[in-house]
Structure formats: C-alpha cells, structure tokens
Structure 1
Amino acid sequence: MTAPASLAPHYGAVVVGGGQAGLSASHYLSTHGIDHVVFEKNTVVHKWKDERWDAFCLVTPNWQCQLPGHPYDGNDPHGFMVKDQIIAYVDGFVHKVAAPVVEHTAVIMIERAGDGFRVTTTAGTVTADAVILATSLYGAPFIPAAAARLPEDIVQIHTAGYRNPGQLPDGAVVVVGSGQSGAQIAEDLHLAGRKVHMVTGNAPRCARFYRGRDVVDWLWDVGQYEITVADDGMGKKRHDTNHYLTGRDGGRDIDLRAFALQGMALYGRLSGVAGGKMLFEQNLRANLDNADRVYNGINALIDRHIAANGIDAPAGEPYRPVWEPENEPAELDLEAAGVSSIVWATGFSADWSFVGLPIFDGTGYPVHRHGVTDIPGVYVLGLPWLWTWGSGRFLSVGRDAEFVVSHLAASRIEATTPALKRAG
C-alpha cells in the first residue's frame, strides 16, 4: 500500500472503499495506467480484522480465493482458511497491489462537476473523471427497532462485534437471525456449552459434502457460479440470503434440527418485544422446511449432473428431518429463561448517503448492468450478484473489477478520440 503524501487536485478515477473490491479496481486501474486514489474510511483489512469472530473461517474452499494476480497458493486448496489465514491472504494482496490508499478518510459527497465529479472527503476535496463505488452493501450493522424495548440489563451485540462466547456474560444467549453468520455463531456458542435460543428466518441451507465431494466443487462443475443476473432476470437475486453451512474443523453441515435435539431452542421470525418477552411469528416449521427444501434441491441438481455425465460417484439420498417442532413458540420470557445476552445476526444497512448522483432505484439500490450505471463515469463494484453468483466473493470480484475498469478505460479512449481527430 502506497498512501500518497498529499492529495492531487484531480484524478483519472476515484475509488471509494479499500476492501478486496476497491483494491482489485486499483490493480486494474494501474494496469491501464490510469492515475487514481482509493479512499477508505477505516483500514484496508478492517472488515476481516475488526468485524469477524475468533472462530470465523471461510465457507467456500480455499481454491476459490482468486484475487487478481493473487490466487491461493497454499497446500490445502480444499480446506477453509481461518481468520488469521484470511487476514494474511488479504494482506499479501494489499502489498502486491500497492494501491494508493488514503486510510481513515471518509467520502462525504460525490456530485457532478462539469464533465467529471467532485469528491469531498474528510481529508479534502478532489475532482475526478470517474468514480468507482466499491463499498458493498455492508455499511452499518442493522439492529431492529424492537431492540430498544428489551430490558436494560441484557447485553446486546451485533455479529460485527461478536468475538467469542467468553465475551458474553454467563447465562443463556438469544441469536436473532439464521443466515450464515447467525447459524455459525449459534454453533460457536452451542459448542461452548451455552444455552442458545435461535430465532430463525428464511435463510436457506446447503450440504457441505455430498456424494464424495464438497458441494462447492460440484456446483462449480455444474456452472452455478457462472450464472448471471441476466439469466434469472436483472435484480432478482441481489438480496438473496446466503446458504448456511460451515468450513469449521474441515467443514460440515449446520443442521438446526440436530442442534434442537441437543438442547438448542428454536423459534420463528421475531415479531416484536413487549413486557420483557420476545414475540415470534408462527413460522418455525416453515422456515426449517424451506431451508431443507433448498438443501435437497441443490443435492438433486448435483444428482442430475452426475447422471447426465455418467460420473462414478457414491450414492446420495435426500435429507430427512431428524427433529420436528412439537409446537410453535409464540414468546420467550427472557428473565424466566435466564437470558443474559442477545446477538443480533440481522445483517447490515447499505450506506449510499454520500452519493449525490441519480443512480438509484425506488428502493435505494444502484441501477447498473455489470457495475456500469447510466451515468457515464460512475461504476459500482463488490455487490452480491453484481453479475454472477460468484460476484462479491474472492472468486469473482477480480473479474468484475477487470470488466468495470476495462469499460472505464475504453470510455476514456472514446472521449479523447474526437479531440485527437480534430487536432489532426
């Protein structure tokens, strides 16, 4: 990383966000010889160092770590890097790219300025021919408003602040949200012997291994990671919840039903808080059934691939529930249950407040096609389903960056060609 000694008044491009998406953009901007700066409000490895719990590990196998010019080169391609290894991998990319990053510098506003853009930051104002918004959808941690009605003596923490079971006071723990983070943190607490109350949602789940291989390997062969938003309709996939499973201890399924047999309490979606009680929708059974339906559907897709290609593989069979809820709990009395803390696994809110440009739809989501917006010179990068199922991950964020920067570079050439012809 090569932070500029001082800001230039003008750049060919400004990149907002110094995560893997912004650094990938910097890599390709340098390849094209485009002068640029990357503004990062924290540090380039902030998300990995400061917003991941101690037992965090990758859910996808190491071979999918394919940042540009920096593929995984370890001796365990089918393993799952743990937190320190991930940080080391990203650090290696940071040093290799040597991006001109200005850390601890927030972008306050981006607006039009003549044929380009004015970018106001906490370190000063610059202008640019183009801007790449690489801030992802993971802005501020989202906690439902109902949290304000919980008893004051209960410790509340978001997944971004969770580190390990020992940081929470003794007593039972409620985990709200059954996406990847929620399911893995619930497992972390459960394995530590804590009483866990898991509030489920509509997150799907996936097998870790099936018919002799990691499911991710099968899905790569099937071509699932190359499916584009154009194949399924633009925008339909952008807010999909990730499937829950884990790479912990070599990788395994996460089966909430099995946890229930071992003493974890399960509930439907949170509907409110009143009188020291958490209230729930009556959809626990539906949530579990839907997660299993996706699980079995993915395995059936693999079955069809194996049959169609005559692949010799061990037999497989559908998942059958190991536990069914006898009733649908409508409420949880927190004091009676001995609950001391709540982990909010409720995701993040995107922050586009600094973008003073008309690039958003009615929901506040940027309108784009493969990262290219309708405003010439404005790009987005690092979003889930930016173009393919692999977008936003170590697997494909580099390819998306290459596409975006190639478009930016071609646009610069088109803009200068008429002037060159007139000069000739």
Structure 2
Amino acid sequence: MTTTVIPVVVIGGGQAGLSVSWYLGRAGIDHVVLEAATPAHAWFDTRWDNFTLVTPNWHCRLPGYAYDGPDPDGFMTRDEVVDWLAGWLRTFDPPVRTHSRVSRLANHPGGGFELTVQTATGTQTVICDHAVVATGGYPLPITPPWARSLDPSVHQLHSEQYRNADQLPDGAVLVVGSGQSGAQIAEDLHLSGRTVHLAVGGAPRVARTYRGRDCMTWLHEMGLYDRPAAQYPGGQAAIEKTNHYVTGRDGGRDVDLRQFALEGMQLYGTLTDGKDHTLRFAPTLTAALDHADAVYNSICADIDAHIEREGIPAPPASRYEPVWHPETETSTLDLRAAGVTSVLWAIGYRPDYRWIEASAFDGSGRPMQTRGITTVPGLSFVGLPWMHTWGSGRFLGIDRDARHIADAIIVDHKTFHSVTASAS
C-alpha cells in the first residue's frame, strides 16, 4: 500500500468538484481530485438519450466559462452538455486521478484526514489537511423493499438506468414517480408510442414560459435562486420538496399530466405496495394534480406581482385551467391484464456517507454544513442541493459555492504557512 501526502483532496470529479479545483489551481494550492470513474461521467452514463436541461442554457456557468452559443434561452441536450463540459475542461488542467474511488475517510492521528483509495492497481492511502466531498447529494437510487416481491417476469429498472424506450421489453410501461425524471421519462415513453401508466406523486409543476419569458428567467430576476436557504419562504419543509416538473424538450414546454391522460396515458395516485402482478394505489391522484396546478398558478401570480411592482411591459396574465379530471381513483392495477411488462422507478435517491467517519451528519444522514463548511476542521461539501441557495447543485450556483469553499481553504492554507514561517 502506497501513501501520498497532499494538502487538499477533492473527492469527486463532477462539475462541482472540478470547480473547486479550478479555484485552488489558480491560487497555486497543491491538491488532487479523486474521481471514481472519469470527469463528469454522470452526464454521459446516467442521462437518457433524449434528456435535455430543464434550465435555460444561459444558466450554464462554471468558473471562467459560460454558455456562449446561439440559443441562450434554449435547452441543451445531454450530448450538447457533454460537449460543453469538455470545452470547459480544455480551458484548464485539473489534477484528476481517474478510477480512484475513496472507500473511507477518517481522522488522521497527526491531524487532517486519512483516505483509503481503491484503484485499478490496488489500495492506496492519501493523507490531507482538507477534504472536499463533491460526490453529489443523493447517490443511491431508491426502490421500495417490496419491489422484489413482484413477479420476476416484470422487468424493473431505476430512472438512472433508463436510456430509451427500445431497451425495454415490448409492452406497456409503469413509471412510478412524477418528479422531474419521472415526468420527463413518462413523456419520452409516451412520445415513442408506448402505452404508459404513471403513478403520480406530490411533485409540483411550473410553466415553461409565462408572459413572454421563461419562468426560470423571471424567477432569477426576482432573486429566488440567490436567496439563502435559511431565508426561503416555507423554511426547511419547502426546500425539501421535489423540484417542479417541466421539460426543455423540443425547445421547452409545460409537462401537463392531464393532457397526457387525454392522449391515453393512465394516471394513478401514490403507489403503496404490490405483489406478483397486483399493485395498489392510494386515492391521491385528484389531490396531486390539483396541488401541482395550484403551485403552477401561484408561481404565475408571483411573476404577475413582480411585473406590476417593477412596471415591466409584458403580455397579459393568465391562469392554467384543467383540461381533464379523473372520474374515479383507480386503486389496483393487474400488470398482466394491462400488458405492463416493465416498471420504472423514479422515486429519487438517498444520501450515503457511510464511508465518512466524522461527526458531520444529522439524524437523517445529511451533512450539517453552512455554505458547505462543516464544524469538522478541514471537512467541507460542495454540489449539494440547497447547500446555500436554490441555485446550489445547479450550473447556475456551482461557481459561487465552489469559490466560497476554495476561498476558505486558501485562507486557512495561507494562515498555516504564515504561522509556520513565523515560528521558524
């Protein structure tokens, strides 16, 4: 086992970890980025073929680099995002060690941290003063424990494994979950001609465009993406809710589950349990659709107030009116009778920091941090949803968050060397 000593280790080579590296490199701080696969691999490996951003292209900003293409108000496809990130990586030379998975982070007896790193050639030890965890907020896909009791002939996969309709067996598909991924994958399957059944959860929705502009452009202008999490209306309960569903596909549009129902998609309430070929649903569909529409209209009303307050010329206000209502709440589904051959789980992810041996987590396993910095000296996080603002975890907020983390490390590094120099 080899041992390496280095001042700073960034764990994770996605856009957040590489952004911290960008600032550390400019400051001349010796560091390394340990990446379990290859830089920004998640964009290629875990997005479906027809994936598009749901935020406008002008949101795409990373240190020293911003989208400057011909369609700032459009939405890049997965492949375009990969190319854009590759262009950013060509602007600097981050010290990345690929295929280096950190399996353990613990306090080092001499101070700082000791990391156990698994590589293709064996196990290595890395000792550092600062560790920046940039592995993403929720790496483990969730499936319900009773999923294993469904008939083995039913093909099951998580949303992160979905690529396109052709990878699934012939037949209808049940998508479970209506957050951003679930709603967009249901749309993708629907547009491909598949019969789709969708178990609708509690996710809200938002208009794609309203009164002449993209809603996310309005919200940015209103300061919503810059407001610290602690000051956000509704508090912790509000920021922990699922993100609003909308799509950037074909230039961007609303995702209207009621319209899908008119076109033949079968909608249900929350999926509660199942066995063999029988699934059961709670009678929550009507309430879920009404709630999503209420949020949609509430956001439009907030934009109306902003327009009036600022005296901005804009087209007239409007409100969404439902185009379909469920006549009854279906409580069960016989997969075999309905011809459903695949179940796609899109019910989210959960955190997994079991490899970190430090008192930096709350009772639910989430990092206790302020703008990414924990009370454990030298340990910080970056790239978490709502780490500081609504923009955290998105391209729009990564630069600011990474700069804050890097600045704290740079100040600590310079202070240490200044004290050491004075002592000698």
TM-score relative to the length of structure 2: 0.96
Deviation at 1:340, TM superposition (A): 0.8
Deviation at 1:8, TM superposition (A): 7.0
Structure 1 equivalent of residue 332 of structure 2: 331
Residues 100-152 of structure 1 deviation map (CA, whole Å, 9 limit, x = unaligned): 11111110111111221111101310100100000112312221112111111
Q: Secondary structure at the match of 2:328?
A: coil
Deviation at 1:357, TM superposition (A): 0.8
Cα pair distance change 1:110/1:125, threshold 3 Å: same
Structure 2 equivalent of residue 212 of structure 1: 212
Cα pair distance change 1:117/1:311, threshold 3 Å: same
Cα pair distance change 1:263/1:331, threshold 3 Å: same
Amino acid of the structure 2 residue aligned with 1:356: E
Residues 213-263 of structure 1 deviation map (CA, whole Å, 9 limit, x = unaligned): 111111111111111112138755553311100010010000001101111
Q: Could you tell me how far apart the structure 2 residues matched to 1:242 and 1:230 are?
A: 18
Q: Secondary structure at the match of 1:49?
A: helix
Structure 2 equivalent of residue 82 of structure 1: 77
Deviation at 1:418, TM superposition (A): 3.5
Q: Secondary structure at the match of 1:336?
A: helix
Residues 364-397 of structure 1 deviation map (CA, whole Å, 9 limit, x = unaligned): 0000000010011100000011101111111111
Q: Secondary structure at the match of 1:323?
A: coil
Point out where structure 2 has 5 or more consecutive residues left out of the alignment. Answer: none
From 88, 91, 104, the counterpart of 1:109: 104
* Preserved CA contact (<8 Å) 1:26 1:97: no
Structure 2 equivalent of residue 240 of structure 1: 241
Q: Structure 1 segments of 4 or more deviating over 6 A?
A: none
Deviation at 1:343, TM superposition (A): 1.0
Structure 1 equivalent of residue 398 of structure 2: 397
* Preserved CA contact (<8 Å) 2:176 2:198: yes
Q: Secondary structure at the match of 1:91?
A: helix
Residues 308-351 of structure 1 deviation map (CA, whole Å, 9 limit, x = unaligned): 11111101211111111111111111011010111111222222
The worse-fitting range, judged by mean Cα deviation, of 177-186 and 221-230 is 221-230
Whether 2:116 is the aligned partner of 1:120: answer yes
Deviation at 1:192, TM superposition (A): 1.3
Structure 2 equivalent of residue 290 of structure 1: 291
Whether 2:363 is the aligned partner of 1:367: answer no
Deviation at 1:95, TM superposition (A): 2.5
Amino acid of the structure 2 residue aligned with 1:370: R
* Preserved CA contact (<8 Å) 1:225 1:388: yes
The worse-fitting range, judged by mean Cα deviation, of 236-245 and 73-82 is 236-245
The worse-fitting range, judged by mean Cα deviation, of 381-390 and 273-282 is 273-282
Whether 2:129 is the aligned partner of 1:143: answer no
Q: Could you tell me how far apart the structure 2 residues matched to 1:354 and 1:97 are?
A: 30
Amino acid of the structure 1 residue aligned with 2:95: P
Structure 1 equivalent of residue 320 of structure 2: 319
Structure 1 equivalent of residue 181 of structure 2: 181
Q: Note the 1:18-417 alignment, pairs <5 A.
A: 18-113=13-108, 114-123=110-119, 124-232=124-232, 235-236=236-237, 239-417=240-418
Q: Could you tell me how far apart the structure 1 residues matched to 2:2 and 2:236 are?
A: 37
* Preserved CA contact (<8 Å) 2:10 2:133: yes
Q: Could you tell me how far apart the structure 1 residues matched to 2:62 and 2:50 are?
A: 23
Q: Secondary structure at the match of 1:243?
A: coil
Q: Could you tell me how far apart the structure 2 residues matched to 1:227 and 1:63 are?
A: 19
Deviation at 1:413, TM superposition (A): 2.6
Q: Could you tell me how far apart the structure 1 residues matched to 2:169 and 2:346 are?
A: 18
Number of residue pairs aligned between Structure 1 and Structure 2: 418
Residues 149-199 of structure 1 deviation map (CA, whole Å, 9 limit, x = unaligned): 111111111111111111111111000000001000100111111111000
Deviation at 1:202, TM superposition (A): 0.9
Cα pair distance change 1:383/1:361, threshold 3 Å: same
Cα pair distance change 1:225/1:37, threshold 3 Å: same
TM-score relative to the length of structure 1: 0.96
Deviation at 1:417, TM superposition (A): 3.6
Q: Secondary structure at the match of 2:357?
A: coil
Q: Could you tell me how far apart the structure 2 residues matched to 1:20 and 1:291 are?
A: 31
Q: Could you tell me how far apart the structure 1 residues matched to 2:236 and 2:39 are?
A: 28
The CA RMSD measured in Å over matched residues stands at 1.6
Q: Secondary structure at the match of 1:373?
A: coil
Q: Could you tell me how far apart the structure 2 residues matched to 1:9 and 1:274 are?
A: 51
Q: Could you tell me how far apart the structure 1 residues matched to 2:278 and 2:181 are?
A: 24
Aligned residues: percent identity? 49
Q: Could you tell me how far apart the structure 2 residues matched to 1:139 and 1:238 are?
A: 19
